[in-house]
Amino acid sequence: MFLAGLNRRVFYAFVFVLGSIVTAAGAHADPVLIPAPPQLAATGYLLIDANTGEVLVEHNADESLPPASLTKMMTSYIVSGEVERGNLREDEMVNISVKAWKMGGSKMFIREGTQVSVKDLLRGVIIQSGNDASVALAERVAGSEDAFVDVMNQQAALLGMTGTVYRNATGWPAEGHVTTARDLAKLAQAMIRDYPEHYKIYAEKYFKYNGINQPNRNKLLFRDPTVDGIKTGHTEEAGYCLVSSSEKDGMRLIAVVMGTNSEEARAVESQKLLTYGFRYFQTHKLYSPGDEISAVRVWAGKADNLGLGVAKDIFLTIPRGSQDNLKATMHVDEIIKAPIAAGQELGNVVVELDGKQLLDIPLVAKQEIEQAGLFARLWDSLKLFFMDLFNLM
């Protein structure tokens, strides 16, 4: 076919600023100025945008630190997954062992020889930070706490928590039981994303069991209505720790603060991070899978035009008020021939802010286009041949 001899080219289709086509000489807003992030009285801390994973503030975020009861975030994550997959039922009754009953530290106050539902045990882990509830669930899921720890470490590896090693299901002090602020942010992100229904438990302020009503230890739940999780931790070695999450105006932040000197300090320092993030940054949604970003000509197909879009929601974290400085340049294959499969990659969009590249996003076909009949394909090939010959493309 004539088309076989033509070179495939890429052309720069349009430059967009906030979705509007502009020329190279278009208006350009001034850069947005952001003050230095707060300095916290903590051993390590991190603030990220939960939607994009963008790091907004960090200090010693990769330092190996004892996680204390922040360990229970992984315990609840694994149990939530077991429920989601149908391996556990929330109304299933769990036998309470002597080991679970004898656990020291923070407790749900379950009794050896009784049965407690998975639903209540999860609340005991999340709200009351019960070491007894954590061991009971670990034994139910894996047969023993030691076997459950193997699952925890495997799950940590799958989530990319490269600085984390678990030795137990509770956070009880143990040699080599460590994590990092960055890993905890990844785990919080995964909990919110993967099990949103179970994540709602983290927002509950109280849980009453066996006649004892205990408050959630996350003080921010009582002070800031935008905060809906996630977990506290404390041992003498770890200090006072808090992973918190807040959602406001479509933006969700995750703050990790480790090694403060009091319950009040971990709440205050965490609030500083969240306030800074919401004040100076915003989550900007660029595209959704339903958006048609461009329509292009298709050759040798049963349809002449094809819509291009993205395969998933595309978010950016940018300085608040800097959206006028965003520039998206679309690169599309010049010659697009059928057959085309829905989702086939046919170009890309490069997003920049003040000259710095932020994203390179594939452009994909929004629908399938079948190949045309022989005569139509010959005719399109002939047209392309002469267009190339006379440099009309």
Give the containing element (helix H, strand E) for 17. Answer: strand 10-17
Catalytic residue, candidates 76, 97, 129, 244: 129
User: Which amino acid is located at 147 in the chain?
Assistant: A
Measured distance CA(267)–CA(219) in Å, rounded:
6
| The two structure tokens encoding residue 315 | 């978010």
What local confidence, expressed as pLDDT, does residue 29 receive? Answer: 58
CATH architecture of the domain 44-260 equals 3-Layer(aba) Sandwich (3.40)
* CATH no. for 2-30+286-389: 2.60.410.10
State the CB neighbour count (10 A cutoff) for residue 210: 13
Secondary structure (3-state) at 331: strand
Catalytic residue at 356? no
How far is the C-alpha of 319 from the C-alpha of 314, rounded, in Å? Answer: 17
pLDDT of residue 374: 81
Catalytic hit among 72, 186, 337, 366: 72
Low-confidence residues in the chain, pLDDT < 50 = 1-27
On whether the CB atoms of residues 246 and 227 are closer than 8 A, the answer is yes
Return the C-alpha torsion angle 263, 269, 274, 279, nearest 10. Answer: 140
List, in sequence order, every residue forming a beta bridge with 178; answer none if it has no partner.
165
Question: How much is the pLDDT for 376?
Answer: 61
Catalytic residue status for 144:
no
Query: Across the strands, what pairs with 209?
Result: 212
Q: If residue 346 lies in a helix (H) or strand (E), which one and from where to where?
A: strand 345-353
CA torsion angle 149 155 157 163 (round to 10)? -60
The Cα–Cα gap between 361 and 344 comes to: 13
> What whole-number distance in Å separates Cα of residue 381 and Cα of residue 164?
58
Give the pLDDT of residue 391.
Answer: 64
CB 351 within 8 A of CB 359: yes
pLDDT at 24: 35
Q: What is the pLDDT of residues 168-200, one digit of tens each?
A: 999 999 999 999 999 999 999 999 999 999 999
Indicate the length of the chain as a whole number: 393
> Residues with Cβ < 8 Å from 86, sequence gap 6 or more?
none
Q: Rounded to two decimals, what is the model's pTM? A: 0.86
Segments in 59-211 forming alpha helices (H): 72-84, 98-102, 118-126, 131-142, 145-158, 181-194, 196-199
| Residue 129 bears catalytic tag | yes
pLDDT in tens, 270-301: 999 999 999 999 998 889 998 998 888 887 77
Domain layout of the chain by residue ranges: 2-30+286-389, 44-260
Tell me the C-alpha distance between 151 and 194, whole Å: 17
